[in-house]
Structure 1
Amino acid sequence: MGTRLRETLLLHGLRLLHKFDARQPAPHRLGTKAIRRILAISSTAIGDTLLSTPALRSLRLAYPQAQISVLLNTDYTALFANNPDIDEIIPYAGGYRRFLRLACSLRRRHFDMVVILHGNEPQATPLAYLSGADFRFKLPNNNDFRFLLSNHEAEHGWDAFAHGIDQRLAVAALAGGAPTDHRMTLPVAEAHAAALDQRLASRGITGKATLIGFQPGASTISRRWSANNFAELGRRLLARYPDCHLILTGSPKERKLAAGIAEAIAAPRVWNTAGELPLAELPALMQRLALLVTGDTGPMHMAVAVDTPVVALFAVSDWQCSGPPAGEKGSRHFVIQKWRTCTPCLSKRCPYAEPPCMANISVDEVETAVTDCLAGKPGRVSRASAPPEIFL
């Protein structure tokens, strides 16, 4: 059965079910001890889920006695296992896989409220409704299933929010969440830090060494800086800083990409950790780095969450929506923002092996940002005006 047909059948079935729904939740229960069980949905990528952690803290502050369960992408549950604002993690495989089984499982938990912080449609909102919870909140709420939400009357799209964290905090506020800041939560377990120390020692890397991280991979090709540029930058940094080591990070799928960069740098002070470190140890590595050079990636958000400076490279995406808090007083993050080269931008379906928009970021300007960061200079945002577009 095709995805579109499943969505159509689900939509019509839920419209019929909703027509006979007799639930009449009392709004005065929000923000009180009457809310005992909360389900938060943040079931997409690592970075998306990290952006949800301030909203989880908002809910914990407002509902200290409540059981807060979080529906997370199955692959990333280990990363959030020690988050103090989460009582239970429910693994989520995504799509329509085991959809009805999951809906029944959620219903048996008797949630009072569901907050969709970031989840793919058309599954997220139907799951919230089928859970049986009296209250269901989501922003943006402009999809076909919005009639199932408690906040369906005032319609909002993504353009209503300055940053992804603002969007999630707005959802928490609808649910009675307490005010909080934009800090992301990513605790580093002592055991994972100790394991990392042993790995570093086995490679002869002492505590005094300066570790510079490279994250060459990204969720889409359009967000990747070229491997050749990373290799050239690596050679320059090793020559400039005799005590530094380069740490290449990434997932198992990105190990070949990182290995090619390590081979091109051709130096002993390079460690390719992509696919080698367990995901749960990655926060400890990010905390140990002096800085991370990265595109718009989950590891970028991890580094920011553990207070490690980043040199973040943006073109397809807008740093103001998904980047670190660069440019603010006291920020140590450096952002280089270029323009979208192609019209229309195909983003996830970028046809280029090396996207021309990311190629507009030169090795020279990244090297300057790295040296300024290591020198302790304040973070900054470097923008460039766009030339005429390439029409695809």
Structure 2
Amino acid sequence: MNNIMTILKHNLKTTLKGWFWLILVLPIGVNLFVNIISDRVDKSVEDSGKYFNVGIYTKDKSEIVEKLLPKDKFKTRLIKASEKDLRGSLDNGDISVGVIIDSEDIYKDIKANKEDSIKVISQSKGNNKDYVLGILNTRIMQANSLGDNKEEYLKAYESYEKNKYKIDYEGSEMQKIMPYTTMFGLFTMAFLFIGGRCLVPLLKEREAKIDKRILVSKISKPQYLLGHILGCYILLVLQSVILVATFYILNPSLNISLGWMIILSLALSFMGIAIALTILSVSNNSSMYYTLLSILITPMCLLSGGFVPMALMPEVIQNISLVFPLTWINSAYTKILFNGDSLSIGLDLLAAISISLVLIIMYLVIENRKGNKLSC
């Protein structure tokens, strides 16, 4: 055990030399970067849904106005007493869009196709105005098609609202978590490169034949390898735990299972070790190791759902990506964000760990074939 701890400390000391701040700052920096993106996404969402205030000045006091601009389509719908009051609220930023209904009987004017009865004004550079115009156009078409008079229209409208087909979709939720999936994709790419960096001491000692001198001492080959691997694993776990901690600190409103995030961190770290060992096993020198690290990690991260949802990829790519442990890690992470079924999350993580274990076994087999047989 003492021998393992000696190699472990050696690995940590060698790896952290010059890399400590990167290992510490990377997860924090990625989280901060994503929160900036998320804030911008939230602002763009405000331009396309029920997240902004709209003001209305109308001469028509009937319930037709409610049908044209329903309250549930906006964050707040404010009725103004005059056009001057409406424009003042717009100038002050109290509302994003103003609607002027310059008609005492807007239903009659709609049926008569009278122009300039409704005006939409906005000072925003976003899509708020287009959103309001879209709602108005839809409601005007309904007014023209649902009945021949106001009473028939109101009756048909109530029937339509009561019986219309409602679609449940995850579009808004997906838009909400997209910055966090992108964050995780960026993090895992850098994380895997750092995981590869953690095993460089083992590679350099092998190149310089230092490992043979070490093995002549009381340290056995399994103890030597285990010390390096555990040192690397500790650094990766530390980095992933910092990511999770920063994630929770910066996003306190997100209701996500801490337990699953910790398990995900452990599985991700195990996967990082497995991939680095696999690349190490087929590398003859440092140059080859770094080259393979770049060639293999980059496409794997791009094709495993960290940046582009798997559903948007060709079926062939989806099938190929199933052999990547990172694909299952990303799948589990997305389900955790959605508060998905625990069994499904557990199976994804089990798949990632199983594939990683196969990779580690491949490393041991290849090392064996090279003549580096383990001896206690």
TM-score exceeds 0.5: no
TM-score by length of 1: 0.23
Larger strand share, 1 or 2: 1
From the CA coordinates, give the structure whose radius of gyration is larger.
Answer: 2
Larger helix share, 1 or 2: 2
More RCO (CA 8 Å, sep 6+):
2
TM-score by length of 2: 0.23
